[in-house]
Structure 1
Amino acid sequence: MKSSSHYSPRIEITHLLRLAAPIIAAQVAATLMGFIDAVMAGQVSATDLAAVAVANSIWFPAILLVMGVLMAIPPIVSHHLGAKQKHKIPHDMWQSGWLALSCAIAAMLVVQLAPYILSVMDVEPTLESLVYGYLDAVIWGAPGFAGYLVLRNISEGLSFTKPSMWIGIVGLLLNIPLNYIFIYGALGAPAMGGAGCGVATAIVQWLMFGGMIICFRWHQFYKPYALFSAFEWPQFHAMLQLFKVGFPMALAFFFEVSLFAVVAILLAPLGATIVAGHQVALNVSSIIFMLPMSLGMAISIRMGYRLGQKDAEGCFFSLKTGLKVGLAQVCCTAIFTLLFRHWIADIYTNDPAVIDLATNLLMLSCVYQLSDTIQVIGVSALRAFKDASGILIITLVSYWLCGLSVGLMLGLTDWLRPAMGPYGFWIGFCVGLTVAAILLSLRLKYFYRKLTHDPEWQN
Structure 2
Amino acid sequence: MRETKDLREKAKQFITILIPILITQAGLSLITFLDTVMSGKVSAADLAGVAIGSSLWTPVYTGLAGILTAVTPTVAQLMGAKQQKEVPYTVIQAVYVAIIISLIVMISGFFLVDPILEGLQLDEKVSLIAKHFLSYLGLGILPLFVYNVMRSFIDSLGKTRVTMLITLCALPINFVLNALFIFGKLGFPKMGGAGAGLASALTYWCICLISLLIVHKKPPFYQFKIFGTFYSFSLSECLKLLKIGLPIGFAIFFETSIFAAVTLLMSHFDTVTIASHQAAMNFASLLYMLPLSVSMALTIVVGFEAGAKRFQDSKAYSYLGISMAVGFSLFTALVILLFRQQIAGMYTGDPAVLSLTKHFLLYALFFQLSDAIAAPIQGALRGYKDVNYTLVTALISYWIIGLPVGFIIGTYTSFGAYGYWLGLIAGLAAGAVGLFLRLRIIQNRLIMKLSA
TM-score range (shorter-chain normalised) is: over 0.9
User: For the residues of structure 1 that align with 2:54 and 2:346, how far apart are their CA atoms?
Assistant: 20
Verify the 8 A CA contact 2:216 2:225 in the aligned structure 1. no
Q: 1:59 aligns with which of 52, 57, 60?
A: 57
Please give the residue correspondences for 1:20-419 in structure 2 after superposition, counting only pairs within 5 Å: 20-112=18-110, 113-411=112-410, 413-414=411-412, 417-418=413-414
Moved more, 167-176 or 180-189: 180-189
SS where residue 361 of structure 2 aligns? Answer: helix
- Which letter maps to 1:161? T
Aligned to 1:440: 435
Give RMSD over aligned pairs.
Answer: 1.3
SS where residue 382 of structure 1 aligns? Answer: helix
Verify the 8 A CA contact 2:182 2:195 in the aligned structure 1. yes
Verify the 8 A CA contact 2:70 2:242 in the aligned structure 1. no
Moved more, 225-234 or 340-349: 225-234
Residue 180 of structure 1, CA deviation: 1.0
1:453 paired to 2:451 = no
SS where residue 227 of structure 2 aligns? Answer: coil
- Which letter maps to 2:44? A
SS where residue 220 of structure 1 aligns? Answer: coil
Verify the 8 A CA contact 2:73 2:299 in the aligned structure 1. yes
Deviations 1:312-355 (CA, angstroms, capped at 9, x unpaired): 11110110111111111111111111111111110110111111
Verify the 8 A CA contact 2:344 2:357 in the aligned structure 1. yes
User: For the residues of structure 2 that align with 1:61 and 1:329, how far apart are their CA atoms?
Assistant: 24
- Which letter maps to 1:380? G
1:422 paired to 2:417 = yes
User: For the residues of structure 2 that align with 1:387 and 1:444, how far apart are their CA atoms?
Assistant: 9
Deviations 1:191-225 (CA, angstroms, capped at 9, x unpaired): 11101000000000000000101111221221332
- Which letter maps to 2:100? S
Gaps of 5+ in 1: 1-5
Gaps of 5+ in 2: none
Residue 129 of structure 1, CA deviation: 0.9
- Which letter maps to 1:398? S
Residue 139 of structure 1, CA deviation: 0.6
User: For the residues of structure 1 that align with 2:417 and 2:198, how far apart are their CA atoms?
Assistant: 30
Verify the 8 A CA contact 2:56 2:260 in the aligned structure 1. yes
Verify the 8 A CA contact 1:65 1:107 in the aligned structure 2. no
> Could you tell me the TM-score, scaled by structure 2's length?
0.97
Q: 2:8 aligns with which of 3, 7, 10?
A: 10
User: For the residues of structure 2 that align with 1:377 and 1:143, how far apart are their CA atoms?
Assistant: 29
SS where residue 230 of structure 1 aligns? Answer: coil
SS where residue 230 of structure 2 aligns? Answer: coil
Verify the 8 A CA contact 1:66 1:104 in the aligned structure 2. no
Verify the 8 A CA contact 2:140 2:201 in the aligned structure 1. yes
Moved more, 252-261 or 264-273: 264-273
- 1:110–1:262: structure 2 CA closer, same or farther, 3 Å change rule? farther
Verify the 8 A CA contact 1:65 1:103 in the aligned structure 2. no
Residue 226 of structure 1, CA deviation: 2.2
Deviations 1:164-209 (CA, angstroms, capped at 9, x unpaired): 1111111111011101111112344321110100000000000000
- Which letter maps to 1:233? S
Moved more, 6-15 or 326-335: 6-15
SS where residue 410 of structure 1 aligns? Answer: helix
User: For the residues of structure 2 that align with 1:267 and 1:196, how far apart are their CA atoms?
Assistant: 25
Q: How many residues align?
A: 448
Moved more, 53-62 or 24-33: 53-62
Residue 162 of structure 1, CA deviation: 1.3
Deviations 1:213-248 (CA, angstroms, capped at 9, x unpaired): 111122122133222221212111111111121011
Verify the 8 A CA contact 1:148 1:212 in the aligned structure 2. yes
SS where residue 366 of structure 2 aligns? Answer: helix
User: For the residues of structure 2 that align with 1:70 and 1:372, how far apart are their CA atoms?
Assistant: 22
Verify the 8 A CA contact 1:23 1:164 in the aligned structure 2. yes
SS where residue 220 of structure 2 aligns? Answer: helix
Residue 7 of structure 1, CA deviation: 4.6
Q: Which runs of 4+ in 1 moved over 6 A?
A: none
> Could you tell me the TM-score, scaled by structure 1's length?
0.95
Moved more, 192-201 or 223-232: 223-232
User: For the residues of structure 2 that align with 1:444 and 1:347, how far apart are their CA atoms?
Assistant: 39
Verify the 8 A CA contact 1:313 1:452 in the aligned structure 2. yes
Aligned to 1:3: none
User: For the residues of structure 1 that align with 2:108 and 2:285, how far apart are their CA atoms?
Assistant: 24
Verify the 8 A CA contact 1:267 1:421 in the aligned structure 2. no
User: For the residues of structure 1 that align with 2:296 and 2:138, how far apart are their CA atoms?
Assistant: 27
Residue 110 of structure 1, CA deviation: 2.9
Residue 458 of structure 1, CA deviation: 2.9
Verify the 8 A CA contact 2:367 2:425 in the aligned structure 1. yes
- Which letter maps to 1:320? Y
Residue 423 of structure 1, CA deviation: 0.6
Verify the 8 A CA contact 2:117 2:131 in the aligned structure 1. no
User: For the residues of structure 1 that align with 2:29 and 2:121, how far apart are their CA atoms?
Assistant: 29
